[in-house]
Structure 1
Amino acid sequence: MMVNSSASSALQRKTLNLIYYCSIALFGFIFILLASWGAYRLQFAGKGKPIIQDEFPYRLPDNISPTHYDIQLELQADNSATFNGRVSIYLKVIEATKTIVLSAEELQFVALIKANADQKNEHNKTGIVPSVNGKIEGVSLVNSKTNAAMELTGFSTADLVKYRKIQVYSKQALEKNGQYSLTIDYIGLIRNDMRGFYQSKAADGSLVLSTQMESEDGRAAIPLFDEPRFKATFQMTITTPVKNDKTRILFNTDEISRSTLSDGRVKVKFDKTPLMSTYLIAFIIGQYDYIEKSADGIRHRIYTPVGKEEQGRDALEAAVKITKFFTDLYGVKYPINKMDQIAIPSFASGAMENFGLITYRETYLLFDNATASQSDKENGIEVVSHEISHQWNGNIITCAYWTQLYLNEGFATFMETYALDKTYPSWKRGLKKLTNSVIYAADADSVASADPIVREYKKIQSKDEIDGLFNSITYDKGGAILNMFFNYLGEETFVKWMRQYFAKYQYQNTNTTQLLELLPVSDVKGTAEKFSTWLYQAGMPIINVIKEADGSLTLTQRRFFSYANSSQVEQFKNSKWWIPLTYVTEIDDDAEVKRIEFPASQTSLKITDKAVKFNHHKNGFYRVNYPKSMWTDLISNIKEFDTQDRFDLFNDLFSIATSTVETIESSLMFDMLLALKEDETSILWESMYQSVLKLNQLLAGESVSLSFSRMVLDLVQKQYEKIGWENRSSDDDDLAEQKEVRPFVLNLACRFGNVDCIDQALKRYHERNTTAIPPELRNVIYRTVVSKGGEREYYQVLEQFKAEQDSVERTKLMYALAYSPSIPLLQNTLELSLSPLVKPQDSIFLIREVARNVPYGTDVAWNFVRSRYDAIVSKCGQDQVSNRLVFGVGSLFNNLHYKQDIETFFGPRLQSISLMHYRNTLEAIDKNAKFLEKHLSFIDSYLKSKYPATF
């Protein structure tokens, strides 16, 4: 089903066949054009025609729906490599059928284990275990109405490898509207690749058994119907050894009974869950302490490694406040009497919203005041807010299929910040979100390969393609677009919309049509059509401002590209959006914000007001390019704008100036940077920090790099002198802002060669045993010590890392080891990534961090990936390599010969990696190479004239 394979096959067909298929394709294209948009959306949300298995073999059929699961898991010993499983699934028949199709992966079925010789022979030929006298060992099907066993004809694993499906065949048809129970016995693997039911090792050496089911990894632990639309209730019984009184056995719901068996194991039964999708199932066995607090009928617990319960205090207090916020916001109660949040030693994602049992990386849930900065805590609590939001957005209401994933993740991304702005207003997380989430969204959306937020159903035909949907378009752009809708509708109307949505669809699956139909506005259809230009269309617009002779402004819109070739620009030339424009006519905090709509049906718009800036506070998801005279004025007056608008102007100018498609003088980008060098806000400094590092990555191997470094030192000098290393303000607000700005200023100063900064970092490191390093300075000090010190300092940091038990501190020390300028030491760091000292969840991130260490690390990391690829896959799992390593390292290259290297290396491995990430990697290399081709000569001339590379 690969594109290359299909294309090659097509070229070999006879002319008659080619004409035939072209005719079919043309007919299909015409049909799509004529089909109504609403019908399209309904069909692919699972509410139109039933799924045709021949056309969509990856999907499960619509003819049967599960209503309840009884799951029994049994472990024999503490270090078991496998578990025994039995699942009984209660089914409702939608259309009469003799075949039950469900999902499974790498499970051993009793039907095969206990099959006789004839059955095994038949299975070897056809993949089907035939029944004996209507029965199959380990598989049974019962009519719930009559309690009579159904006669079976076979059990098939023929599609187990290709589609990860199994089939059960009944002699008699299952009647429409009938109810049945299917029971399957099996043996499952306790995995080590951070998916399904897997093991990881805690710092004290004890094993933790935990789960990660999203998107489709539940089938590696339980045979089930694992598409989001198949909601059911679940009841779990776990039999397991218990090491001591710290052993916790957890499920989504509370335990309702416990008994001790004669062999000392315990058997624990849990309460029934609410109606939910299979990817939310969670169960955990491990050694934990906890702290708890009850509020509004909910018992909140934070489970921590033994002895670290107080490190969960911040998360506990946040959980109580945020849960109440969402309960009040949506008007729908949280349906479980407990909300557990637990730290997992090895965890591939940041966190997972399992209903009633939320799992986290330790760094996002546990905070030691001695090692965690305020920024560490805020970032972690933002993750907590995201996962608690999911208990409503995703769990109570769930997307109908993964193509509409933003209904889960886009909403959680928007709501996580909205909740924190209400519960922790002093943190200003909504403002800070501009520097990460909005930038990530715009970057991901500015290439030709970008997908729309709502994906085309037919494109999704594999697990890799589903996992690829968990990306910045879904999360960050989804959240940014919802923020734009929020600002357009106003808070009161937006909240009313959400309450109507939850009142109507709680415990159901939804699609975008159903969401938009509930808009509480006078023109529902018209507003839905406006919003749909953002949801069903890829890319983001750029508004070009043209200043007319009479002083009026003419605005045009088209799709913005950071990179695209000429044919791609032509392909998307007619893309248009409805844009809720905002602008001001004077630079004043109290200036009236004017609003006007730019219809998608118009190619231009005239503004007679003398607007000075568009997109007030960056509330709209679009870029604005002004004529040079206006940019010059904006740069001259940049200090007069408030924080959000300074950020917006800087970010737009930087993105346009580094685009390979747009035309603007690169000097304006540097003029803007230097105009902001006295800025005192962390929002701007974080954005400038990211932008400087991005340029450094591209320019590091060029002759202009020394001049670029001098420019950066000029940029940071005044703030370095003002802020320094010590707090110098008595004002609490100023002090808090300085503490947030300081890490960005110091990182740039030390990294690019400020001698005093380097000396101070080394001095403070060597005095750390007598004077503790403040948490917010540890990153910059550790990285500077490794990058500007020598071999002795590198090994001192390495020994610290080996001895450290705190997860936040270990992460800072680990990443610092990627910053050495010594190739042998970088090779040592890369080998460290495969050692037991680095968790599987962190290995790829450490390799990627080495690759970012220009000009030393990129080649070293790439050579390591090629030489140790099998070892990396063995430790981290193929999913992690596909989703993170290929793009994480490959996208940093800016020379086309590396593109050939990647094609040569991964070409034979395309079957095992994500094609989406592979193509995105090649596109990123093209983008970087094109940037240098277009901009390098001008940047070289500009910087060398202004900052000669002599000292």
Structure 2
Amino acid sequence: MSKTKEFKRLPKNVLPKHYNLELTPDLEAFKFKGRTSISIDILERTNQITLNALDIEISKATIALSDLIVETKNIEFSTENETATVTFEKELPVGKGELNFVFNGELNDKMKGFYRSKYFTPSGEERYAGVTQFEATDARRCFPCWDEPACKATFDITLVVSQDRVALSNMPVKKEEALENGLRKVEFDRTPIMSTYLVAVVVGEYDFVEGKSSDGILVRVFTPVGKKEQGLFALEVATKVLPYYKDYFNVAYPLPKMDLIAIADFSAGAMENWGLVTYRETYLLVDSANTSSIRKQSIALTVGHEIAHQWFGNLVTMEWWTHLWLNEGYASFVEFLCVNHLFPEYDIWTQFVTDMYTRALESDCLKNSHPIEVPVNHPSEVDEIFDEISYNKGASVIRMLHHYIGDEDFRKGMNIYLTRHQYQNTCTEDLWNALQEASSKPVAAVMSTWVKQMGFPVVSVKSEQKGNQRVLTLSQSKFMADGSKSTDEFWMIPIAISTAKAPGEIAKNFILDERSKIITLDDISENDWIKINPGTVGYFRTSYTSEMLLQLIPAVKSMQLPALDRLGLIDDLFAMVQAGQAKTADALKLIDAYRNETNYTVWSSITNSLCKLQVLLSHTDLVENFNRYGVNLYKPIADRLGWDAKENESHLDTLLRSLVINRLVSFRCPKICEEAKRRFKEHVENVKVLPADLRSACYKANLQDGDEKTYEEMLKLYRSTDLHEEKDRISRALGSIRNIEILKKVIDFAMSDEVRAQDSVFVIVAVAMNAKGRDMTWEFFKQNSEKLLQQYQGGFLLARLIKYLTENFASEERALEVEEYFKTNEFPSTERTVSQSIETIRLNAAWLNRDLDSTKEYLLQQ
């Protein structure tokens, strides 16, 4: 379905070296004026210069050569190519020049380019900040430029702003000067050589907290006025992360300061602008009374991720968007390294598997997945690759590589890569060469099979006992979500094996570099279990014979098998169920072995699988039976943990309590729902404040069977808080109401001015995830698609909305309906998402047809 547009990159006959950029935003009229003079190298004689410009008006363009000024003949804009071509009166000779533009534009409300972000002063007055978001291709919406990652230059940035506003950019302030009319001119130091997508400015009202890292970098966290204490946690993380990375890469952070700032209207989670990282408020601010543990953990990861980019992405930048994964996959891996270093109690590498690795595998077994490295032509195609493959699969294959070559060589390789290519651009092969040089292992040969081709393998294992030896036959084929087999593809698979003799230790490792291989393990009795892929490090699925699986079950029950192996086992089996290679009932029987499980991440993985099944069964009459099954499974852990946090309990137990109570609410467990409502009532009446970790569950319990009055009470709670995280939590909980008429009001509320555009999507998704709201939200989408398209202009928020509104259907009729709708209505940047959704609907339908009877039989026996 992907319609590749004809698209040419900018000609290379003229290149920028330096920009002098001055911007004057008007935060009341929502306009800005700008001027830029760009030092250029003219490499071939020409009378035309083509560069990027979109949604801006250029009122004047001239070029100064060493001895004369050449006038412009005309400027031609191409909306399709997002360019401006300036034609000059006479030919420009080879040499240096100064290209000058005067331009103006609108401070838009689309959260891209130079845009306006609404906020409220402590007294409740509505105001706006001016903010930039240029990745991937939106610097051109702010000023005429060579808006491609490889066209690096230095920047001198000047802002003309109100005297009472904070003005920030990538570098520290060089000088300020008061002007008339209450304005001031703020000039910033020159930036290093960098890509346009990393340029940033922010103008608004903010408080800040500051500190210095041990290596002397000034770190500031900017917050809404009156909330600076909410920046302290991020400040602590950032001041520790900078020296950690400096030490890990053995390369110093090259800027004198690092600012982190919370932006009220922000479409992504955060953006790594060099020296001025912008965040959604929910990804930066911590309110000690109202922030949940899982949110605090995700803030630590996000700060770690964006600061990793300061080296990986900013100092060394991918040559073109095809190599986006070099930025994102790498930063997604490193954020876990640094959080593990700062917060060992988070057990974050175990959580990596449920948060990153399994989500990548789920997307990557679809026929409409894409390789990690994907050709990008038009800017509209870039948005779509900011997805599970670039981030999660990218991070997962780097984790596999890190294990394969070892930490020491990995660090050495990173240092070679960063020092060799600093202030330049690279492609994937440059990274492999550096790691190969450091480790003397065939990195490029192994890794190209993971990066260049789509999907991943399933390793099937057969086992035979010969005396005190175990003979294993391992074979590989491509794993497909629909169960079809393909042996066209081939991977170089790093395989590790552990055994009952030493759980968690590697008994053997090797590269599976052919279709199948026979491996012999010595000194093993016939009752000993064998586990392939210990630690769930290799990016593949494992398929065992039923005898081998049975041998593992006692080790699951006794928890002798390490947590990541217990997790990998159930996750692989559920994937086999979805592909029709095992029965749903078999997976539910295996889950029985996990009743004594105490590990948060293992429960996370079980929950992920059961949630998929819950959505599937919501199309049948087995909902009550499945709810009973769920209550029986989760209730014992809830009883063990209780409602109230114990003194000094682990971070992971806090997360587990929240997970389990949430699940029991969704299974409509009478006792849990009753207690949740009681605690909610105390919370609303200010008798006893609910801990942040339990709020989502209690809000949902209260809303599930709620009426108009309950809904109004919840809205009152929403309106009474000014913490973004709490608003987010309440608005998403509204999706759990089961009354369809009230759910329609929730959708109206989501589209109202009360909910920020970046959050509306998630409120609508919450309604769509509710079986009662599924059809209604799809109808709503079709009727309001123009409005939504206008609001999000393509982009990943729209893709996210389409994914969750459609992929939970489960019939061929629905698949055809969705297919037909998107054939006749075009939504740029969502083609791949739509194809994946249609494929998922058909997979759901096949799963139901295949397994409904045996699942029913199993649930009725429970």
- TM-score, normalised via structure 2 length: 0.95
What residue in structure 1 maps to residue 627 of structure 2? 709
C-alpha distance in structure 2 between counterparts of 1:576 and 1:78, whole Å: 56
C-alpha distance in structure 1 between counterparts of 2:402 and 2:460, whole Å: 25
Structure 1 pair 595/745, CA: closer, same or farther in 2 (3 Å)? same
What residue in structure 1 maps to residue 19 of structure 2? 69
C-alpha distance in structure 1 between counterparts of 2:278 and 2:552, whole Å: 46
C-alpha distance in structure 2 between counterparts of 1:679 and 1:274, whole Å: 52
Would the aligned equivalents of 2:384 and 2:829 in 1 still touch at CA under 8 Å?
A: no
What residue in structure 2 maps to residue 212 of structure 1? 133
What residue in structure 2 maps to residue 80 of structure 1? 29
Secondary structure at the counterpart of residue 721 of structure 1: helix
2:303 maps to 1:384: yes
2:204 maps to 1:254: no
What residue in structure 2 maps to residue 647 of structure 1? 567
Post-superposition shift, 1:419? 1.0
2:497 maps to 1:583: yes
> Over aligned residues, Cα RMSD in angstroms?
2.0
Matched letter for residue 315 of structure 1: A
Would the aligned equivalents of 1:588 and 1:641 in 2 still touch at CA under 8 Å?
A: no
2:312 maps to 1:429: no
Matched letter for residue 806 of structure 1: L
The 10-residue stretch of structure 1 (920-929 or 55-64) with the greater mean CA deviation from structure 2: 55-64
Structure 1 residues 331-384: Cα deviation after superposition (integer angstroms, max 9, x where no partner): 222122111100000100000000011000001110111101222111111100
C-alpha distance in structure 1 between counterparts of 2:778 and 2:379, whole Å: 26
Post-superposition shift, 1:590? 6.4
List aligned pairs for 1:762-841, cutoff 5 A: 762-768=677-683, 769-841=686-758
What residue in structure 2 maps to residue 305 of structure 1? 224
C-alpha distance in structure 2 between counterparts of 1:743 and 1:881, whole Å: 27
Would the aligned equivalents of 1:834 and 1:872 in 2 still touch at CA under 8 Å?
A: no
Post-superposition shift, 1:235? 1.2
The one of 80, 86, 95 equivalent to 1:168 is 86
Structure 1 residues 282-311: Cα deviation after superposition (integer angstroms, max 9, x where no partner): 111111000111232321100000000000
Post-superposition shift, 1:191? 0.4
C-alpha distance in structure 2 between counterparts of 1:872 and 1:368, whole Å: 32
Would the aligned equivalents of 1:587 and 1:641 in 2 still touch at CA under 8 Å?
A: no
Secondary structure at the counterpart of residue 889 of structure 1: helix
What residue in structure 2 maps to residue 933 of structure 1? 849
C-alpha distance in structure 1 between counterparts of 2:332 and 2:507, whole Å: 26
C-alpha distance in structure 1 between counterparts of 2:39 and 2:634, whole Å: 65
Secondary structure at the counterpart of residue 120 of structure 2: coil
Post-superposition shift, 1:919? 1.8
Would the aligned equivalents of 1:382 and 1:416 in 2 still touch at CA under 8 Å?
A: yes
The 10-residue stretch of structure 1 (166-175 or 316-325) with the greater mean CA deviation from structure 2: 166-175
Would the aligned equivalents of 2:260 and 2:278 in 1 still touch at CA under 8 Å?
A: yes
Post-superposition shift, 1:859? 0.9
What residue in structure 2 maps to residue 747 of structure 1? 662
C-alpha distance in structure 2 between counterparts of 1:727 and 1:392, whole Å: 39
C-alpha distance in structure 1 between counterparts of 2:853 and 2:781, whole Å: 32
Structure 1 residues 414-468: Cα deviation after superposition (integer angstroms, max 9, x where no partner): 000111111222222222111111111111111122211122x3xx222221111
Would the aligned equivalents of 2:383 and 2:796 in 1 still touch at CA under 8 Å?
A: no
Would the aligned equivalents of 1:557 and 1:604 in 2 still touch at CA under 8 Å?
A: no
Where in structure 1 are there 5+ consecutive unaligned residues?
7-54, 111-137
What residue in structure 1 maps to residue 463 of structure 2? 547
Structure 1 pair 593/936, CA: closer, same or farther in 2 (3 Å)? same
Structure 1 residues 636-676: Cα deviation after superposition (integer angstroms, max 9, x where no partner): 3212211111111111111112224xx22332210121211
Structure 1 residues 178-218: Cα deviation after superposition (integer angstroms, max 9, x where no partner): 22121121111110010001112113322111011000011
Would the aligned equivalents of 1:293 and 1:299 in 2 still touch at CA under 8 Å?
A: yes
Structure 1 pair 3/824, CA: closer, same or farther in 2 (3 Å)? closer
2:248 maps to 1:329: yes
Secondary structure at the counterpart of residue 348 of structure 1: coil
Structure 1 pair 3/681, CA: closer, same or farther in 2 (3 Å)? closer
C-alpha distance in structure 2 between counterparts of 1:798 and 1:531, whole Å: 51
Secondary structure at the counterpart of residue 434 of structure 2: coil
What residue in structure 1 maps to residue 270 of structure 2? 351
Would the aligned equivalents of 1:787 and 1:820 in 2 still touch at CA under 8 Å?
A: yes
Post-superposition shift, 1:265? 1.4
What residue in structure 1 maps to residue 512 of structure 2? 598
Percentage of pairs with the same residue:
31
List aligned pairs for 1:641-680, cutoff 5 A: 641-660=561-580, 663-680=581-598
The one of 682, 685, 697 equivalent to 2:600 is 682
The one of 185, 200, 208 equivalent to 1:267 is 185
C-alpha distance in structure 1 between counterparts of 2:785 and 2:27, whole Å: 32
Structure 1 pair 679/147, CA: closer, same or farther in 2 (3 Å)? farther
What residue in structure 2 maps to residue 515 of structure 1? 431
Secondary structure at the counterpart of residue 758 of structure 1: helix
2:61 maps to 1:139: yes
C-alpha distance in structure 2 between counterparts of 1:500 and 1:878, whole Å: 39
The one of 509, 533, 558 equivalent to 1:615 is 533
What residue in structure 1 maps to residue 366 of structure 2? 447
The 10-residue stretch of structure 1 (820-829 or 163-172) with the greater mean CA deviation from structure 2: 163-172
Matched letter for residue 890 of structure 1: T
Post-superposition shift, 1:896? 2.4
Post-superposition shift, 1:873? 3.3
C-alpha distance in structure 2 between counterparts of 1:579 and 1:744, whole Å: 34
Structure 1 residues 707-740: Cα deviation after superposition (integer angstroms, max 9, x where no partner): 2222111111211221221235x6x3x5443222
Structure 1 pair 95/428, CA: closer, same or farther in 2 (3 Å)? farther
Post-superposition shift, 1:743? 1.1
Structure 1 pair 587/648, CA: closer, same or farther in 2 (3 Å)? farther
Post-superposition shift, 1:98? 3.0
Post-superposition shift, 1:268? 1.4
Count how many residue pairs are aligned between Structure 1 and Structure 2: 845
Where in structure 2 are there 5+ consecutive unaligned residues?
none
C-alpha distance in structure 1 between counterparts of 2:628 and 2:664, whole Å: 10
What residue in structure 2 maps to residue 413 of structure 1? 332
